[in-house]
Amino acid sequence: MVVQLGTVIVTGAAGRIGSTVREHLRGEVGRLVLVDRVPMRPTAPTERAIQLDLTDLDAVVEALEGADAVVHLAGLADEAPFADLLDSNVLGTYHVLEAARRHGVRRVVLASSNRVTGFYPVGQVVDPDAPVRPDGFYGVSKVAVEALGRLYADKFGLSVVCLRIGSFEDEPIEPRYLATWLSPRDGVGFIRAAITAPDVHFVTAYAVSGNTRTFWDTAAGEQLGYLPVDDAERYAAWVPGSETPSDATAFQGGAYTSPEYSLRHVMAPPPPS
């Protein structure tokens, strides 16, 4: 395959999405730099692996030297104590953007989440310009990720794409996923488009497969040049509960919107001594 993507840095390369991106992009790059805080081993001549913690700004700056594009997938991927989310998701993203600014990186792709709008009702189609309504502390951290990306685009001229990633699974396994599923094939397609789309200042797009039941406007993703090819509906017959009509007033975030889902991560104050 013709090399066309130059040097691409993938943070969180050992994770589920990172591993999939690695597998599909290694043949399309001049160099693929795999960054994670767990050790990794290069498996192709184009690969280089770097073990680091994204809270170390100097290490991140060094890792991004020579990069043409950065795909930032690292971070906590679910609800957690807020301090941990700030460290991993917000501070880590700030360091990636700051390193990209210093090196003049051509494109930064940030992994946001559909959960920044989890409190909208299922019956409402939401586009990326709608006010954020995060469904938990994790969603709040991703709102901050998007805000940092916008700041670095507007203030420092970085070209930034924020992808609000759907439910990244091999197949949809629950009713909510019939709307939110992002297949591995479409996930890679969106990320490839986010790296290569021309004339991008700042774009936020829902990265979701072409699901019949989706409740997100995907026009921004199409503007990046990618049309999803998979549809969760082909699996509907095997998903328990798929025939039950959805409640249009229920929240898009489903179980993530429950108070208990977040309160279990709130640290109780110590008892008085």
As annotated, the active-site residues are 138
Residue 181 CB contacts under 8 Å (≥ 6 apart), including other chains: 166, 167, 169, 171, 172, 208, 209, 211, 230, 232
Q: What is the 3-state secondary structure (H, E, C) of the chain?
A: CCCCCCEEEEECCCCHHHHHHHHHHCCCCCEEEEEECCCCCCCCCCEEEEECCCCCHHHHHHHCCCCCEEEECCCCCCCCCHHHHHHHHHHHHHHHHHHHHHHCCCEEEEEEEHHHHCCCECCCCECCCCCCCCCCHHHHHHHHHHHHHHHHHHHHCCCEEEEEECEECCCCCCCCHHHHEECHHHHHHHHHHHHHCCCCCEEEEEECCCCCCCCECCHHHHHCCCCCCCCHHHHHHHCCCCCCCCCCCCECCHHHHCHHHHHCCCCCCCCCC
Q: What are the phi and psi torsion angles at 41 (to 5°)?
A: -125, 130
Cβ atoms 178, 213 nearer than 8 A: yes
Tokens 């490839």 sit on residue = 192
d(CA 63, CA 96): 10
